[in-house]
Every structure is written in structure tokens, then in C-alpha cells.
Structure 1
Amino acid sequence: MPSWKLRNAWLPNKRPTVNAAQPSYTRGFLLALAAAALFGVSTPLAKLLLGAIAPGMLAGLLYAGSGCGLLLWIGFRRLTAAPSGEAPLTRRDLPWLAGAVLFGGVLGPLLLMFGLAHTLASTASLLLNMESVLTAVLAWVVFRENVDHRVLLGMLAIVAGGALLSVQQFGLGGPILGALAIVGACLCWAIDNNVTRPISGSDPAQIASIKGIVAGCVNIGIALAAGQHFPAPLTLLAAGALGLAGYGVSLMLFVLALRSLGTARTSAYFSTAPFLGACVALLLFDEHPGLSFWLAGALMALGVWLHVSERHDHAHVHEAMNHNHRHRHDEHHQHDHDFPWDGKEPHTHPHTHEPLEHSHPHYPDLHHRHRHS
């Protein structure tokens, strides 16, 4: 056996004893919170721009700024020969990516911009908590991701908060239509979150840049066809910069969190975004929400706490699997290499997981998508 292969081989009596789930969980938790912070602040800031940009055009510029900014980053990375260490997208990823672009990049932003134009910014920010609920429901019912009783109770609390906000805004005109549009945007993003999970092992910058460019072009085209116009150059740059941070970088961090936590739990942590957005909205705008706003906020806070305090531990079986993603040689990656390896970690290459049965705290990440009895 070549010396490099002998050096990389995992010996039976050298199996790692440190559980890799906790560091992965902590990293995913922090990534999801960072993604939430960027997106949460972007919502009230986007409302500031609505005075100078029509809703459809703003939706397009936000995503175009995201896609173009990340494309420049990818180009810079290649020019400097700095490897990303991430697995590239493949042809079999395209259907999932197309679904993410359609629902998350085209329909979702359009509905959100319409909703923002007819809803208080603080209320709109809290209504965005419906995204985590709808994401978890789809992950549980359609994609068979495990959701325990704490996550279910958390969803019910957030739904109750959303319903309370809708009752507060009840009417036959703009307010109720605005609230419904925001809930519709949340449903689109819930679909987006679930169809992004199967490709979360691929390069997040590539995913976010493609999504941003395609969605931005489509939304800008629709806006121009509807008679809307580009804003002044400085306003256009402001929209692009906001989109890069609130949509592009935020999406990259969200995809990375999906690897460690799965769809429902990542969205639960991400649901802290509306609270930050609501606080920023109260500072930026002369809004005076009533008692129902604070009651709804308390219900949603309870729901988020139930989500983030959930723990999951049981004996489970890993079936044999082949895939490609950035990884370290931890408890779940005990494979040899058929190529010279310099020993650096993390690293990326196609690899095979042998069947494995064990027990430890875990979440529905890339390697724990098993069914539960």
C-alpha cells in the first residue's frame, strides 16, 4: 500500500471517540442566527427604499444585487487561485435549483414587496415568522423530516401569533391583502428551503449567485413590462448592496446551516429574523403598534424558544451512501482516499459512507435523514 494511503487509513482500534455532532450543531446554530440577522435587518430597510423604487423593481434589484455581488466574489476567488473547498453543482442538482429560483427568487420577493407596500413594517416583520412554520410543515409532511412534539408546539405558538396579527389588520382592503401576500411569500420561501436542502452540500456561493441572477433578471423584466423604471444610480446601488447582504450572504449562511441542522430546525433558528426586523422597524418608522402586536410577539418568542431548546438523541442506522461535500474525518467520515492527500482538513471529494449503527445527539443534517418509527 502506498505510504500516503496507509497514512490516511482509519484503523479499527483508532475510531474517534469524540462525538462530532455537537460542534456541527453549534456551528449550524451560529450560521443560522447570522443568516437571520442579515435578512431581518433587510426587511425594514427595504421598506425605506419603497418610496423611491416600485415593489416589483425593488424585488428584482435585491436579487440582482445578490447574484452579481456573489458572482464577482466567485470570479475574484478564481483569479486569485483561492480554492473554495466546496463541491460544485452537478446536472442532477438542476431541478432542485430551478425550484428554489422559482419559488424563493421570483414569487417570494414579489409577494413580499407587495405586502410591505400595504402593511406596517413591524407587523410585516413578525408575519415573516410564518416561513419557519410552513417550512417545518413541508419538511415533516412532504419530505418526511423528523419533527418532535416541542417543534410542533413551537409551530402552533407561531401560527397563533400570526393569526393574531392578521386579526389586528382585518379589513376588506389593503391591510388584509398585504398580510396575505406576506404569508404567501413565506409559503414560497418554505418550498424554497425544502428544495434547497438536497443540494446544500454544494458550493453555497454558486447556489446563491445563480439564484440571485436568474431571479433578479426575471423580476426586473416583469417590472419593466409593467411600466416600472430603474431608480437613480445611488438608489440602485443601495438596493444592490442591501440585496447582497440580506439575500446573498444570508442565503449562503442559511445553506451552510442546512448541512448541520436540516430544514425545519434551521428555519426555526432563522425565525429570529423577524424579531430583529421588527425592532429595527420600530426605530426607523413612526409606528405605534397596539397590544396585539406585543402579544403576537410573545407567542412567536415562545415558539422560537421551543424550537431552539429541542434535543434529539436515539440509536439510528446510517445506510450506505455516496455523495460529495466539504467534510472532516470525524465519526461519520472514516474512509480511505484513492488519491494523494496532504492531510489538510476540511477537504472536498466524492466519498462513500459504509453502513453504521450508533447513538448520539443529532439533527437531520446531511448524514441523518433516516426515518423514525
Structure 2
Amino acid sequence: MIGKHTHLWPGVPLALGSAVLFGASAPLSKLLVGSIDPWLLAGILYLGAGLGLAVVHWGRRLIGLADVEAALQAADLPWLAFVVLFGGMLGPLFLMLGLSQTSASSGSLLLNLEGLATMGIAWLVFRENVDRRLLLGAGAILAGAVLLSWNGEALRLDEGSLFIAAACLSWGIDNNLTRKLSSADPVQIAMIKGLVAGSSNLLLAFIFGASLPQAGLVGAGALVGFLGVGVSLVMFMLGLRHLGTARTGAYFSLAPFIGAVLAVVIFGEALTFQIITAGVLMAIGLWLHLAERHDHEHEHGALEHEHSHVHDEHHQHSHDGPFSEPHSHWHRHEPLRHKHPHYPDLHHRHSHE
């Protein structure tokens, strides 16, 4: 059982929750896409996420919870700019260009490259620890996602396919760069990303001739965006904080299966052998990840940073006056050597032989 005192909490539930919300957004968006221009809908989804999180962000200040998370610092702004560029602007743009030039089946199949790109960049570029069990689990989840998207047609690697692959690469870069910001307030970061990406997509949609739909449809799209993009992104970033990029990305790859199951419920689609087999593969991958136990003696060097925390074995500093938990402030970690199960989180980004 996942409890407070295990290395699985709260990272795994957060990553899975992010996948559930994002996976649910696909069939819910399908209910709207027949009445709203696709590019305009993308803008509404992201802008709904940004505006909804703005309410949450300022609401926390009104009720005195502003110091629970670390605010963005000047040093974070270049990383934030790249996150918005790759994840909020280039990714959606490449996707739209790709979908306009390739078949829907090829497009949905290629979108599974995002999980592979996320893990590959984390492993090869940022040298995040990835063991055999994690690779096998991620492979099973990815195989399930591919099977879910496959409809028997041959995959055509045309110009449209290259654009979709570029979109997945952009999102893979985005996911890895977002890790650089995972100690800062995820609501603030996701809010900025949603507002910038949503405004950009809306502007482009109107430039290319889209017309504004009825207010009720706009409201429904904004609500789906708030939950499926905004809240999902906040949970994804918190997952990055506790699990690292590769593991969070692997759990997030479950989203297509969530979407497929909800499509069965919402649209009355058949529960096919394909969906059941994909579910079994993903369940195997999930079990391999949950059963992972990375446990060895490791050393923490002296470290100074700011993030939301409670006073646990990694946070033993003193305070001048009374305080509540969780809280955020600049603090120093003294050198420490110990042994316990862990993931490559904020405090365990050490190298391995």
C-alpha cells in the first residue's frame, strides 16, 4: 500500500493523477471538436488552464497560503521561456502542421513518441538513473500505447509524420526542462504557460479564419482545459519533483489508455481485444515500476535551495520562531550519508557507477 512513509508517496499518485486528467481531456475534447475549430479549441483549452490557475494562484494569496511554495526567481526565467517555447508554442504548432498532412491513425500512433522522447532525453542527456526494470516497465507501457493507437494501417513517414515527431521531441524537451523548475511553484509556472500558449493559439486560430463559438461551448472547453491541461500539468510538475523525469514520463504514458476507456463509457464504443491487451501491457509496466526499489548507500553534498518541504530526514534545519508545514524558504542541507529507498528527486540527483 502507498503510504506517507514510502518512497512512492506522493510522487506516484501525482503522476498517475496527471495521466488520468490528461487522458480524460481527449474524449471530452472530442465532444467539442465538432463545434469548435481544432486550433481555436487548443487555444481555449490552454487559456482555460491559465485563467483557472490564475484564480487558484491569487486565491492562495488571499487566504494566506502564499509561502507554501517557492516563487519563481530571476534565474528561473530563461528555463521558463524555453518551457513555454517548446511545450506551449512549438509543440502545438508542429502538431497542427502534422495533423493537416497525415492520416489520423498515423498521427495518433506517432504521438506516443512523446513518452519515448521524454525518457530518452532524461537518460541520455541529463544522465538520470534508469535501470532494467524501469526500461522494461516503460517498454510495456509504450507498447500498450502503440497497440491502442494502431488500426492496422501501414505507418507512412511523410512530411506530416516528421512534423508530429518534431512535436513529440518538443514536448520531450519541455518535460525535461520543466524538471529544472520543479522546486518552484507549479501553479505559477503552469498558469504562465497556459496564458501564453492559450493566447498565442487563439491569435493564430483567428488569423487563419476561425470564428468564436457559443459562450457555453467556450466555457465547457475552458473547464476541460483547466482540469485536463492545467491541474494535470501541476500534478505532473509535482511528480517531477518527487520521481524525476523518466519515471514521471513513463507513468504519464498511461494517459492514452485512460482516454480509450473513457471513450468506451462516454461514446459507447466497443471494449475491444485491442483495448484489453493494451490494458494488460500497461498494467505489467505499472507493476514493474511500482515494484522498483532503488536502495543503496548514497552521499548528499552541501546544498542550498528553496522549495516546499516538511521537516523530515532531509530537512533538519532550525527556525527562529513558530512555523507550520508545509512551508517554503531558502535553506541549507549539510553533507549527509545514509541508505534508504529513493527516486531521482530534488535531493537524490547523484551519479551512479
1:326 correspondence with 2:311? no
Matching residue's letter, 1:204:
P
SS in 2 for 1:333: coil
* Amino acid across the alignment from 1:191: I
Distance across 1 between alignment mates of 2:282 and 2:104:
19
Change (3 A) 1:21 1:237: closer
Query: Max radius of gyration: which structure?
Result: 1
Query: What 5-or-longer segments of structure 2 have no aligned partner?
Result: none
Name the SS for the 1:25 alignment partner: coil
- Asked if 1:351 corresponds to 2:351, the answer is no
Aligned pair in 2 of structure 1 residues 135, 266: CA closer, same or farther (>3 Å)? same
Identify the match of residue 257 of structure 1 among 216, 236, 239: 239
Report the RMSD for the aligned CA atoms in angstroms: 3.0
Check 1:162–1:268 CA distance in 2 against 1; reply closer, same or farther (3 A cut).
closer
User: In 2 relative to 1, CA 21–186 (structure 1 residues): closer, same or farther, beyond 3 Å?
Assistant: farther
Q: How high is the TM-score relative to the length of structure 2?
A: 0.87
2:132 counterpart of 1:149: yes
The alignment-based identity, stated in percent, is: 52
Find the aligned partners of 2:289 and 2:114 in 1 and give their Cα distance. 14
Question: What does residue range 168-207 of structure 1 map to in structure 2 within 5 Å?
Answer: 168-170=152-154, 184-207=166-189
1:7 corresponding residue in structure 2 = none
Counterpart of 1:90 in structure 2 is 73
Query: Is 149-158 or 323-332 further displaced after alignment?
Result: 149-158
CA contact (8 A) 2:19 2:232 kept: yes
> Is residue 269 of structure 1 aligned with residue 251 of structure 2?
yes
Residues 198-347 of structure 1: matches in 2 within 5 Å? 198-285=180-267, 287=269, 294-337=276-319, 340-347=320-327
Aligned counterpart, 1:37: 20
Give, in whole Å, the separation in 2 of the partners of 1:32 and 1:81. 27
Query: Residue 27 in 1 paired to residue 27 in 2?
Result: no
Is the CA contact (8 Å cut-off) linking 1:130 and 1:162 kept in structure 2?
no
Shift in Å, 1:79:
3.2
* Corresponding residue pairs, total: 348
Change (3 A) 1:293 1:183: farther
Given that 2:145 and 2:257 are in contact with CA atoms closer than 8 Å, whether structure 1 keeps it comes out as: no
Relative to structure 1, is the Cα distance of residues 300 and 186 closer, same or farther in structure 2, using a 3 angstrom cutoff? farther
SS in 2 for 1:26: coil
- Partner SS state of residue 189, structure 1: helix
TM-score, normalising length: structure 1: 0.83
**TM-fit CA distance, 1:84:** 4.7
Tell me the equivalent position of 2:351: 371
C-alpha distance 155-177 of structure 1, shift in aligned 2 (>3 A): farther
1:357 alignment partner, SS class = strand
Letter in 2 for 1:97: L
Query: In the TM superposition, what is the alpha-carbon distance from 1:112 to its structure 2 partner?
Result: 5.3
Q: Aligned partner of 2:127: which letter? A: R
Contact 1:118 1:177 in 2 (8 A): no
